Structure 1
Amino acid sequence: MHPQSPWRVADFRTLFTGAVLSHFATNISYVAVPLIAVAALDASPGQVGALAALSTLAFLLIGLPAGAWVDRMRQRRVLIGADLGRAVLFASVPVAWWLDGLTLSQLYAVVLLNGCATVFFDVGSQSALPQLVDHEALVQANAAMMSLMAVSNVAGRSAGGGLVQLLTAPVAVLCAAAAYLASALRLTAIRGAGLPAIPRPPTRLRTQIAEGLRHVFGNGELRALALTAALSNLGSQIINTMLPVLFYRQLDLGAGALGLYWAAGGVGLLLGARSARPVAGRFGYGRALGLAGLCLAPAGLLVPLLDRGPGLWIAGAGWVLAMFKVGMDNVLGVSLRQRMTADSLLGRMNGTFRFMLTGALAVGAAVSGLLGELVGVRATLWVGGAFLATAFLPVFLSPVRMRRELPEQQGESAVRAVQPGGVRTPRRRP
């Protein structure tokens, strides 16, 4: 094992194994919840779109303050509390089902509150990671986490589709709740990331949020990374929101086929994440992002060809290629933005990114539901494919495309640039 490998760090291994369980739960529920709405509660395309929008609306509502709160809080407690909350929320769904009292209103409430917990888990985990491993191991650590996300997309969504088909959707949701509980128990073993990255004097929440916004949108490279990722999320969510309706009602392919289709996208994510480091080593970090977008993003226009027979395979290939590009973007983009940010701004930087990226999912779901009602499912897929095909342009047209190496880690002088009068303190190591 390489001496700078993140796998030598016990806290990273703990965070990783907790994330395995958490991502597995997320992907099971990703398949099971909309299928409960469509198959059991007879939800319309607009209602399915509303359900998907509510699942990510929390990032628009509390994404920005969550970043500031995470910078003030003990990150270990944030992660554990988020997983415990998600376990309770999803456990309520099968209980209501078995009592014959499940309604769309309850599903709406569950996915909205689950989104709130996910805000804190995502921001907390991405903010904790750079504190748990050395900077030299950061890209490898991010590649491992993004590979995990991709593998969980394959295994979790395949398992979700299989569980729904074999044991019913409520049982699948109960399995997701159990996995969240197991993740919370595992994360209690983390010893680092227990405190905010850098002690700081009391500051108004509004001021801290503004510091994070200025840091991201005042930097041309960070701004381009945020815009490209947000547009990519917008396109993929427009497509994903309509897939349960298309598979279940129009193509009559069933939950298992839908789970396998989403799993194929997970294969693309995994291959992209695993290829990110060698491709960046060959072409440079920014150039790899630009080339991946130019060569692979247009494959998103193949996805609307989804149909029975050859159309299924053509659309599947386009989906895999589009997700390959997203997998590379995740590893390289996250590593770039972490290295461009001082420790004391990590929570707010990640909160700002999550506000934009997952907020785009909420907007995409709402747009998808509206378009599905007005112009039909197929036309909605073409809109999503167009966004996927052009999402790379902000990065391709920015200075990021010319960057060959990761930047030097930002010090506290960067914090003082956005926070006049800031107190310099040494970087805390776990």
Structure 2
Amino acid sequence: MQQRTRREFVRDGLSAVAMGWAAPGFLSELARAQTGHSRNLVVLYLGGGNDALSLLVPYTDPAYYDRRPTLAIPADQVIDIGTDSTGHPLGLHPELTGFKTIFDDGALALLQRTGYPDSSRSHFRGTDVFSTADPDRPQGRGWLGHYLDTLPGPVDALTAWNTEQQLPRSLLANLVGVPSIPNLSTYAFSSPNSAFSLEEAAHSRMTAKRIVAHGATSARNTHVAFVNSTVQAAFDTLDRVGVVAAHVPTTEYPQTALGGALRAVGSAVASESGTKLYWVQTGGYDTHAQQNTLTGNYARLMRTLNGAVSAFYADLKNQRLLEQTVVLVFSEFGRRVSENGSNGTDHGSGGLMFAFGGRVRGGIYGRTASLEQRPDNPDLEYGGRDVRFETDFRAVYARIIDHWLGADSLQILGADFRHTGVEFI
């Protein structure tokens, strides 16, 4: 067997380690900052522009049925949840039976008419605006990334956890790398560009172990010492993710992508992974066609959402972990009041955000809009086609930042969005 030089050994080892992580800067986070159960935030993004009027239904407004003759949810099918602060009755989509359970527990807050001034009604810009919380600079650092940058170092490698393949802008930080872990069972030393086989992953890990062993006898070499500490930290993270993967939930999750993502998050919370932020994403909410009422695209979306969220809620409740968990759900905009000619709805403005958890003050927040299409209707905009936003989405972020994450919303959001009317936590 040909003798390998020390330079070749270190070079090959560095290559194996460098290819092992999908998130830039991940290996620079070398020390675990905290252990045990702590407050955590799960952000669930509904990509595509959720139709708020089909999820939270104003089923006593005649204009709702006039403007949606084929899409409106029948009043006798709506799950009644009471009234808003002005006495307008509201109900949930009939597929959201699990949401009704959470609402009855006092743990679900529904925040109506959220948005921002001069909504572009564009997927790309809307997503960037909600990601950065800055309509003037929507290409900058993410609001959650900004929060991560304010944490005292060293920041643990699993402080934030992205369940998607690609890092969302919301988690983009200047100082902290966030790992992307879309699949617990395959998370190992693998290329960010193409999946390694199990044999290749095992070979990479064996090579890394040899680096650690070699580094133990080469402490005076700065480069080898760095690799040694880096690989040790990588092993620690891999082992912790392995513990999460081995965890058995207390309830059965649906066999959907969203169900799998929330199952992973639930297992991470239960396994004391040390994670404070989780990002979960699901798509399909751009319902221009075949949205329909009790069947069709939107009913399918609601069924998927209800199944995954209900399992997650029950799992955490069974383990007494709800008190330390808040889930925030939103989309990049709402949809038009009137249906279009394809049994769907087009891009709108004001939407719906909601949150649930053991410390959430459940209820309906915000005034229900009158949907009557007349020029002087103050609840509508864009020629009466869209619901006008009433609560800036950054007020919801500010409430989360100040009252749950324990940070300074003025510093992170760059302005004062601490408004009344959103005291859901």
Say yes or no: TM over 0.5. Answer: no
- The structure with the largest helix share of the pair is 1
Which entry has the higher C-alpha Rg, 1 or 2? 2
- The structure with the largest strand share of the pair is 2
Q: TM-score range by the shorter chain?
A: under 0.3
TM-score, with length taken from structure 2: 0.26
TM-score, with length taken from structure 1: 0.26
